[in-house]
Structures are given as C-alpha cells and as structure tokens.
Structure 1
Amino acid sequence: MSKIGYARVSTTDQSLDLQVAKLEEIGCDKVFTDMASASNTKRNGFQALLSYLRAGDTLIVTRVDRIARSVLDLQTLVNHLKFNDIQLQALEQPISTDSASGKAFLDMLAVFAEFELNIRKERQLEGIAAAKKAGKYKGRKPISENVKLDIHRLNKKNQPITAIARELNISRNTVYKVLKR
C-alpha cells in the first residue's frame, strides 16, 4: 500500500514545485509529473503513473483538475482505478473514491472542470473571431504560384514528398495539399 502522487501544470511557464512539495509532505513514495494540458491524455508522466500503480495503492493529486479535464476522462480513470483496487484522493478537495459521497463530489468537480475548459475555448474562439474582424489575425500567408509549380515539377520527377518539402523549405502537409488540388 503506497501513496503515489501526480502533479501537472499546463505550460512550461508554470511551476510544479508547490504541488510536488505538498505531495511529498503528505508522504507520497513517488511523484509523477507532467507539463501538458490535462485534455491531452497521452502525457508521458501520466502514462508512467498508470503503469506504476498497483492494487492497494492510493493515487494522490492536489486537485482533481490536475488529472482530468472532462467528466468522461475522469470517470474512465476512476473506473480503471476501482477495477485495479486503487484509491484516488485529492488534497485540496474532500474527495476520496472509497465512499459514495466522495465519488459524487468527484463527479461534480469534474463537471465544473470540463465547463471551465469549454468556457476558456469559447473565449479563445471569440477572441480569434474579433481579431480576424479587426484585421489583426490573417492566418498564414499563402504559398506562391512558383512554389506550387515547383511542387508539381518535383512530384513528376518522382521525388518523395519529404524530399520535396525539405528542398522547398515547406511542410509535408503543404505538399500534400497542393498535390491534392
């Protein structure tokens, strides 16, 4: 029965130090960390954590939003933990998955975390729309007709896509888009 901690921040500008210190202070034997959005479920530290956890362990986070940002992700994680006889505990919220009231509160917090994420996305889209309307957000400059001709010329010479992109200093995706049209 080990206490295993998990700490996460969304960007490299933020610090994990406070979360890690709290987790170590309450006696976590090991702490896994990530610097990535919680909506990204392919986080290296998170994947290593899931591989490391064993039956009887308690996974400890400072807050629920450190481990999941959607209700579905959180419920999937909680079900995985429960199936493997692993408890989940949040330090700053009265949550522990070993009781019905703790599970209910956990689900409510997940709803609010997902709501917050969706509101932030909406604001971002509104900001981009306003910037476009004001002429401040114009997107990427289109590639020139000469570059398009060069792509077709090199493609007719059976050059690989990667070689074409490298020679013209453009992305492979751009090469594919031009050839598709």
Structure 2
Amino acid sequence: MKIGYARVSTADQSLSVQEDALNSAGVERLYSEKDSGGKWQRKELHRMLDALRPGDTLIVYKLDRLARSQKQLQDIAHMLKSGDIELVSISEQLDTRTPMGKAMFGMIGIMAELERDMIRERTTAGLASARARGRKGGRPKADPAKVKKALALYDSKEYSVPQITEETGISKALLYKELNKRKQSGVGS
C-alpha cells in the first residue's frame, strides 16, 4: 500500500501543495498534520508509522516534512528498513525501491553519522581544552541567595511566578526544580 505523510509547521500554512503531489503519486492513505517537525511527539506521524506494514511504501513530498533533524530521520529510516517498508521522497527524487535510491539513502545515513561523530569530536576537544585552562563545563550554579529569596517570595503567595523570576533573575524551571526538591524532602510548604 502507498501511504503518504504531509506536514506543515503552523496552522496558517497550507497542506494543499503536498497533498496534491502525494495524491498524484498514487497515495492510497494520507496522513496530514500541522505541527513542528522538530517535535517527535506528532500525533499523525505516529498514527502513520503504526499503520505501515511490510511491503508498504511511505511517500513524502520532502524528507524535511518527515523529520527536521538527522537523528529523527535516522530513527525513522531504521524503523522503515527493519519493517521492510520503502521510502519515496518526491522533491529529492529519492526512491528506496531502486538500487540508486537505496544507495543515496544509505549515503544520507553515513553523512548524518559522520556529522554526529564530528560534533562529538569537536565537543570532546573543546571540553578538554577548557579543562586544561582550569574551566569546568556545565551551567554556572545559581546564586543560593537568589534561590532562597525566590522561595520566600513564592511562599508569601503575594507574587506570581513571572514576577518572582523577574525580581530574582532565576528561571521558572529552576524555581520549580527547587520547589520539587523541597517538597520531596518534606521541608516548607
């Protein structure tokens, strides 16, 4: 079965160009959604992946409609390959049903792996260089006095979370993290 997947990032964008191209390619079942490609938790993407069966062909207008990161694309490609499902991208003229298409998709995977390895290598070298100069990695620790003040403001129930974060300069995430720590230890209210 030929299954199509179309996606745009925002509600005000139109799916019609992709849907028309997919229908012209003979798609028998079409999954469409308006959601960010950077998110993995996309309802229609997962419905489509669950519907695929061995021997099916997944057709997309462009590979970036399927995934916006190489990691996601690699994960999906692995799922498709292990499930005996072919992939066709109309714009890139990629068709894993052909020997050249399989080779090109393999090259995309190799390039993605190379890119990941190079990033890892540069990161490791950068961290080693920083350590050699006496610097530590990671985020700087929050000022304990600011955290204490933020918790006191929160406990007073006179300030909203945005007011507290603006007043103290700590992030909302850190405030909630500290509140959760306190809650788990049974200290304060």
Counterpart CA distance in 2 for 1:104 and 1:20 is: 27
Is residue 7–residue 16 contact of structure 1 (8 Å, CA) maintained in 2?
A: yes
- 1:152 CA displacement: 1.8
The answer for unaligned runs of 5 or more in structure 1 is: 116-144, 154-163
- 1:109 CA displacement: 5.8
Identity %: 37
Q: Which secondary structure state, in structure 1, belongs to the residue aligned with residue 30 of structure 2?
A: strand
Q: In structure 2, what is the equivalent of residue 95 of structure 1?
A: 94
Is residue 54–residue 83 contact of structure 2 (8 Å, CA) maintained in 1?
A: yes
Q: In structure 2, what is the equivalent of residue 8 of structure 1?
A: 7
Is residue 154–residue 161 contact of structure 2 (8 Å, CA) maintained in 1?
A: no
- 1:63 CA displacement: 1.1
The answer for unaligned runs of 5 or more in structure 2 is: 116-148, 163-171, 183-189
Deviations 1:121-164 (A, max 9, x none): xxxxxxxxxxxxxxxxxxxxxxxx7x8645224xxxxxxxxxx6
- Equivalenced residues, count: 137
Q: In structure 1, what is the equivalent of residue 37 of structure 2?
A: 38
Change (3 A) 1:38 1:168: same
Q: In structure 1, what is the equivalent of residue 176 of structure 2?
A: 176
One-letter code of the match for 1:70?
A: S
- 1:50 CA displacement: 0.6
Q: In structure 1, what is the equivalent of residue 82 of structure 2?
A: 83
Mapping for residues 8-87 of structure 1, pairs under 5 Å: 8-87=7-86
CA RMSD in angstroms, aligned pairs only:
3.2
- 1:85 CA displacement: 1.4
Q: TM-score, normalised by structure 2?
A: 0.59
Is residue 53–residue 83 contact of structure 2 (8 Å, CA) maintained in 1?
A: yes
Change (3 A) 1:31 1:177: same
Q: Which secondary structure state, in structure 1, belongs to the residue aligned with residue 74 of structure 2?
A: helix
Is residue 154–residue 160 contact of structure 2 (8 Å, CA) maintained in 1?
A: no
Q: In structure 2, what is the equivalent of residue 152 of structure 1?
A: 155
